[in-house]
Amino acid sequence: MSRRGFLRGRANAVTAAQRPPWARDEADFVARCTRCNACIDHCPTHILVRADGGFPAVDFTRGECTFCGECVSRCEPRALHREHADDPPWTLRARIADTCLAAHGVECRICGEACPTAAIRFRPRLGGVALPALETDACNGCGACLAPCPARAITLQSINEDATNAATEVKQ
């Protein structure tokens, strides 16, 4: 538990904020970021916000990341850094939870309609509504599917976390 969480009476550990695309690892990012807000001010989709400590973070409830690179180009201390044009912005991928409306028999395809890479498709099902199927290789983690989901069934997780969670599940 963080000291701030303890003083505010938060018993749960605070999860790290999702940093802007092409952010360095957390320790290096925090050491380099001057909290100047240049990345926040120049984000065309306005999804970058000030998080705890004044550091920038992504708020996918505001929209999606288009990976335009404006945040990187405005970051003078190079806390956001893209060495090569084909460097991935992050390792986030969408996850669809069991709270999805389609899983409960309600016709809803809004996440698939919002997905710019067509990573979410709907498979027809005999005697029921079509269920979403996520193609993780096609998902770029832009977050376009997250905000429009009426059931808040979509989350974005690092593929590194998924590998850790899968290893933990196998051991149990």
We report the CATH number of the domain holding residue 8 as 3.30.70
In this model, does residue 6 exceed pLDDT 80? no
- Quickly count: other Cβ atoms within 10 Å of residue 157's Cβ: 14
**pLDDT of amino acid 78:** 97
Total domains in the chain come to 2
- Kindly state the percentage of the chain with pLDDT values over 90: 77
**pLDDT of amino acid 100:** 96
Give the integer Cα–Cα distance in Å for 131 and 123.
Answer: 5
**pLDDT of amino acid 16:** 73
In this model, does residue 172 exceed pLDDT 50? no
| Domain co-membership, 97 together with 151 | yes
Banded pLDDT at 4 (limits 50, 70, 90): low
In this model, does residue 164 exceed pLDDT 80? no
In this model, does residue 98 exceed pLDDT 90? yes
CB 68 within 8 A of CB 44: yes
In this model, does residue 169 exceed pLDDT 50? no
CB 38 within 8 A of CB 75: yes
| Domain co-membership, 33 together with 68 | yes
Give the integer Cα–Cα distance in Å for 10 and 150.
Answer: 28
Please write down the HEC assignment for all residues of the chain.
Answer: CCHHHHHCCCCCCCCCCCCCCCECCHHHHHHHCCCCCHHHHCCCCCCEEECHHHCEEECHHHCCCCCCCHHHHHCCCCCECCCCCCCCCCCEEEEECCCCHHHHCCCCCHHHHHCCCCCEEEEEECCEEEEEEECCCCCCCCCCCCCCCCCCCEEEEEHHHHHHHHHHHHHC
Give the integer Cα–Cα distance in Å for 72 and 81.
Answer: 6
CB 120 within 8 A of CB 94: yes
Task: Note whether residue 80 is domain-resident.
Answer: no
CATH code for the domain of 108: 3.30.70.20
Amino acid of residue 7: L
Residues 34-50 have a mean pLDDT of 97
Domain residue limits at 134? 92-166
Task: Note whether residue 156 is domain-resident.
Answer: yes
| Domain co-membership, 61 together with 112 | no
In this model, does residue 77 exceed pLDDT 80? yes
**pLDDT of amino acid 170:** 36
| Domain co-membership, 22 together with 67 | yes
Q: What is the pLDDT of residues 61-76, one digit of tens each?
A: 999 999 999 999 999 9
**pLDDT of amino acid 166:** 44
Give the integer Cα–Cα distance in Å for 145 and 134.
Answer: 11
| Domain co-membership, 130 together with 66 | no
Banded pLDDT at 5 (limits 50, 70, 90): low
